[in-house]
Amino acid sequence: MDTNHITADLPARIRDAERVLVGLGTEWGAGSGRDLKPAYEALAKLLEGKDYFIVTVNVDGQIYDSPLDGKRITAPCGNLHWYQCQAACTTDIWEEGEVADGKCPHCGAPLIPNTIEAEHYIEEGYLISWREYTAWLSRTLNRRLEVLELGAGVRMRELQVLRWPLEKTVFFNNKAHMYRINETFPQISDEIQTKAEAVKENSVEFVEKL
């Protein structure tokens, strides 16, 4: 696929956009086996000065160590560096090392990572940033919105958190445009064909090259 024109158009579209919504799939997670630092730095540079929000399905927390603005990120699948009670006796969330013996101060059950892998996932860990995100999203209506969906394949969490809702957002906003970039399945639904472009390429490499 010839993606040269996209490499040129994409930064220009970002510059022209009033809002930029970024969805990060598993290509941007620890499971990719890559050093993601340069890619996160390239993404931060691309978004510099823009009114953006990032939704990530990744739970490794690497994004919070990048130059990206932590107040503009939501991670609804959780964060491996935050802890919750395994028995979910409380909605309290603890940071790494905050509880020395690793046991719930309320009931004594082990503390486990606060991610969707937990049997009883405590959603309080991400709800504040999620509310910020939905409020931000409501302010994108009738704005020139550029959507960058990067590295989201077809795992259930990618479909539910990224692909389906992002397509819906683009569909309902007449001034929206979207790039769907991933190496496995970049197909775009018929409803938004005229407003979206698909790139079958690894999105981490793509962003690093910009």
| Position 107 contacts Zn ion (CB under 5 A) | yes
List Cα–Cα distances, 34 to 17, 27, 65, 195, in angstroms: 30, 9, 16, 31
Which tokens hold the place of 88?
A: 């979910």
Question: Is residue 109 within the footprint of Zn ion (CB under 5 A)?
Answer: yes
Least Cα distance to 199 among 16, 15, 27, 67 occurs for 27
Taking the complex as a whole, the smallest distance from the CB of residue 178 to Zn ion amounts, in Å, to 42
Does residue 112 interact with Zn ion by CB under 5 A?
A: no
**Total of chain residues touching Zn ion, rule CB under 5 A:** 7
**Contact track, Zn ion, 77-96, x by CB under 5 A:** --------x-x-x-------
Least Å distance, CB 90 to Zn ion, is: 6
C-alpha separations of 185 from 90, 166, 192, 203 in Å: 39, 15, 16, 12
In the complex, least distance from residue 88 CB atom to Zn ion, rounded to whole angstroms: 7
Q: Which stretch binds Zn ion (CB under 5 A): 52-60, 94-102, 103-111, 146-154?
A: 103-111
Q: Which of residues 131-170 bind Zn ion (CB under 5 A)?
A: none
Which of 81, 182, 76, 175 minimizes the C-alpha distance to 133? 76
Query: CA-CA distance, 165 to 123, in Å (whole number)?
Result: 19
- Cα–Cα distance for residue pair 169/89, rounded to 1 Å: 36
Q: Which two tokens stand for residue 57?
A: 């399905």
Q: Which among 98-106, 114-122, 144-152, 154-162 is the span making contact with Zn ion, rule CB under 5 A?
A: 98-106
Question: 112 vs 150, which CB is nearer to Zn ion?
Answer: 112
The residues binding Zn ion (CB under 5 A) are 85, 87, 89, 104, 106-107, 109
